[in-house]
Structure 1
Amino acid sequence: MTMLPPETAVRIGALVPLSRPGWVEAGRHLLAGLELAVDEVNDAGGIGGRPLELVVRDTAADPLKAAAAVDELAELGVAALAGEYHSVVARAVAARADALGLPYLCSSAVLDALTEKPAEWVARIAPAQSHGWRIYADFLLGAGHERVVVAAQASVYWASGIRILREALGARGGSVVEVDMGAVDPAKLCDEIVGHQATALLLLVGHPEPALPIVEAVRGDQRLAGVMIGAPAGQPEFAEWAALPDGEGAGIPFLRYLPERLGPLGERVEGALRERLGVAPSFVAFEGYDTVAVLAELLRSPDRTWAGVSVEGTRGVIGFSRAPGIGVWQWVWAPVQVAERDPAAPDRIRILHTE
């Protein structure tokens, strides 16, 4: 390992959900990817001979806490910001970073409207929600699901997802019925699915509550034996779903942002992440690794502009442009899959659809 003097470190502020009500497992995977890439950048000589240092702050899925962390990190002199998983938190980070003129590369939040207006200092690796969720809608229709119920909680992210699904399915004769999980319990939700003659239920809710009680109720209702449960936001990607009793976490199609086959870099990083995490890395861990790889290139560049960045990432060559309707610099696009945990072996993920 190359030893570099710490007093000359180039600092990156990392914003990650590491405590509840944030999705802690997603945060753990994101941080593992960020840390692995920092170690590799430093092993290769750092940034112009200076070590890269990660300054981590827990957002706990709280936009106000995250915005305060941005101000703190700016005062500490970080050269850039990285991370975040929750879209509502990433919006707060993006707004504050752009106002301060501090580069922010969003790792994993997908909400299209990440900023209220075009932002010069903000870029994103994750694909926009409208892109990924339209692909999920294509999958639903291809599998014969035209009548869909969504179990939803109040959130700008979930509301955006419902709108995307409703537009994509409605354009081809499908329908989406929203059930507010703030007003009904899982048993009543089962009645709603039956009443609307839906063939698919989508989980647009928090994890583990109320997502897991909903899965348990639907799987235990004989009236719904033929109903597919889906989770476009990607909850079943994480290993804790493989450990659910009676295989309840399997057979639930979700979105993830990986190619059908990883290249040599992706395979090497996959092995290193698996060793760090003790489980198979989720797509979020790869997003974390790619975030630091991009920021290292940006910080080495004399002009430090997103438009000039081109980096070999774990999932393809990453560059940024202005995508229509999206106010940040965007990688167009990360690969998208619809996958599920195999009911015959829940620790194994099988791919159902790629784009």
Structure 2
Amino acid sequence: MNGTPPVRMGAFAPLSSPGWAGAGQQLLAGMELGVRHANDSGGVGGREIELLVRDTAADPRRAARAVDELAAAGVVALAGEYHSVVARAVATRADARRVPYLCSSSVLDVLTEQPSDWVARLSPPQSRGWRVYADHLREAGHRRIAVATQDSAYWAAGTRILRDCLAPHGGDVTEVDMGTHSVASACDALAAAGVTALLLLAGHPEPALPLVSAVRGDPRLGHLLLGAPAGQPELEGWEGRPGAGIPFLRYLPEQLGPLGVRVGKELRERLRSAPSFVAFEGYDSIAVLTEALRAHGADRARVAASWPSLAVDGTRGPIRFSRTPGSTVWQWADAPVQVADRDPSAPDRFRVLRSGR
């Protein structure tokens, strides 16, 4: 715009294997649309926003190196990431480099070991969302559940949250380690465990999708409710029968407002499919950073200092940041939480089973 240099933002998303590229593409589509809208409305003080995108491939070390690279390239702020352990690496490095980072779509409660004024987050903490999910299971009559899990700080934290929520009501959690079990032996373990629900705390597409197929084809396990609190059934690869009837967490309100409806329509055209909550998180990340830059200038320290004073109309509701109990970063405390599933009679249609905040 007017020959002035652009304002640079860094963006992180898993766009290649072993990252979940489908989620990364949704996230990036939202961020790119947010930049386009910001530039169409004047950019930042007449300067265009330029998005410098880095593929994390779900690798924390690669992401940390990218923070250094983007800091050296002069970005004024960072946004994005889907995988929680990668977002933690980005947050830790961004804090060390004094570059403001808005985490879009990752939920590990502890993003930085020490309190940071440089990091804020849109997605709700895992402990809040997964408690809503545990309440849904309990009220549906599920006390004895199994989790098919892999070695990850994210899955381990989720298992602890479920145990803590179910134990006071007489519930228990049986772990089936997919690092040691084959799909067939996992089915044997589930049949012997006497559980009524199986939660998929494991990677996509392997071993989660083969396990879904095996459980549904095993007559011993026909009574099991399949669940996926990490949100897999909303995303690519779970369309149709694979994701049908599997409750999952997503971060959308019951009804989108006018901005959300308009953005959702444009995202659908861009993605050529229905946008997930991850795409809306991407868009809202850019909307928040654009407002911070317009109000406080393209200065890293002033952007970071602005978190508690920002008030932004996002696609999913008004966004404000505060220090919530147990969090080391600035948090959108009112991010919406839903338990939803794909309607088995029409798998392209989603049903909202529970809403919470």
TM-score, normalized by the shorter chain, greater than 0.5: yes
Question: Partner of 2:136 in structure 1?
Answer: 139
Q: Which runs of 5+ in 2 are unaligned?
A: 297-301
Q: Percent identity?
A: 64
Cα pair distance change 1:279/1:154, threshold 3 Å: same
TM-score (norm 2): 0.96
Asked if the contact 2:205–2:237 (Cα under 8 Å) also holds between the matched residues in 1, the reply is no
TM-score (norm 1): 0.97
Q: Is 1:241 aligned to 2:238, yes or no?
A: yes
How far apart, CA to CA, are the structure 1 residues paired with 2:211 and 2:172? 21
Q: Is 1:320 aligned to 2:321, yes or no?
A: yes
1:301: Cα distance to partner? Answer: 2.4
1:248: Cα distance to partner? Answer: 2.6
Asked if the contact 1:124–1:329 (Cα under 8 Å) also holds between the matched residues in 2, the reply is yes
How far apart, CA to CA, are the structure 2 residues paired with 1:16 and 1:71? 16
How far apart, CA to CA, are the structure 2 residues paired with 1:127 and 1:81? 19
Q: How does 1:225-240 map to 2 (within 5 A)?
A: 225-240=222-237
How far apart, CA to CA, are the structure 2 residues paired with 1:93 and 1:15? 9
1:283 to 272, 277, 293: 277
- How many residues get paired? 349
Asked if the contact 1:14–1:57 (Cα under 8 Å) also holds between the matched residues in 2, the reply is yes
Q: How does 1:61-72 map to 2 (within 5 A)?
A: 61-72=58-69
1:35: Cα distance to partner? Answer: 0.3
1:6: Cα distance to partner? Answer: 6.1
1:333: Cα distance to partner? Answer: 2.4
Question: Partner of 2:200 in structure 1?
Answer: 203
How far apart, CA to CA, are the structure 2 residues paired with 1:6 and 1:151? 55
Question: Partner of 2:268 in structure 1?
Answer: 274
Q: Which runs of 5+ in 1 are unaligned?
A: none
How far apart, CA to CA, are the structure 2 residues paired with 1:142 and 1:292? 37
CA deviation vs aligned residue, 1:135-166 (integer Å, no higher than 9, x gap): 00000001111100000000000000000000
1:102: Cα distance to partner? Answer: 0.5
CA deviation vs aligned residue, 1:108-154 (integer Å, no higher than 9, x gap): 00000111110110000000000000000000001111100000000
Question: Partner of 1:123 in structure 2?
Answer: 120
Asked if the contact 1:29–1:282 (Cα under 8 Å) also holds between the matched residues in 2, the reply is yes
How far apart, CA to CA, are the structure 2 residues paired with 1:7 and 1:146? 61
Give the aligned CA root-mean-square deviation in angstroms: 0.9
Asked if the contact 1:152–1:178 (Cα under 8 Å) also holds between the matched residues in 2, the reply is yes
Amino acid aligned to 2:103:
C
Amino acid aligned to 1:125:
L
Poorly superposed stretches of 4+, deviation over 3 Å: none
Asked if the contact 1:336–1:354 (Cα under 8 Å) also holds between the matched residues in 2, the reply is yes
- Residue 237 of structure 2 aligns to a residue whose secondary structure is helix
Q: How does 1:36-115 map to 2 (within 5 A)?
A: 36-115=33-112
Asked if the contact 1:239–1:347 (Cα under 8 Å) also holds between the matched residues in 2, the reply is no
Asked if the contact 1:153–1:204 (Cα under 8 Å) also holds between the matched residues in 2, the reply is yes
2:217 to 214, 217, 220: 220
Asked if the contact 1:5–1:51 (Cα under 8 Å) also holds between the matched residues in 2, the reply is no
Amino acid aligned to 2:97:
L
1:5: Cα distance to partner? Answer: 4.1
